[in-house]
Amino acid sequence: MSERELRCVICDGDMMFEVPPCPDGHDECPELVCTRCGAAEVVAPIVVHLWGKRPQVPHQRRAA
């Protein structure tokens, strides 16, 4: 199990977190568990999509 130190909101301090055994068989689960109180923390990347105005493409002239 890999461990890392994160801030636990239940323990109100920096605690060691570890990856619990994954029953789904994932290589790296995004879930971490506090080694002191057992609080779960999900660490996953945040994906942001920005939608804006499309650039104006000039219209092609056509013969009559």
What tens digit of pLDDT does each residue of 39-59 get?
A: 888 877 778 777 777 767 777
Percent of the chain with pLDDT over 70: 88
What is the layout of strands, in order, in the sheet containing 40-42? Answer: 3-8, 13-18, 31-34, 40-42
The length of the chain is 64
Given a cut of 70, whether residue 17 has pLDDT beyond it is yes
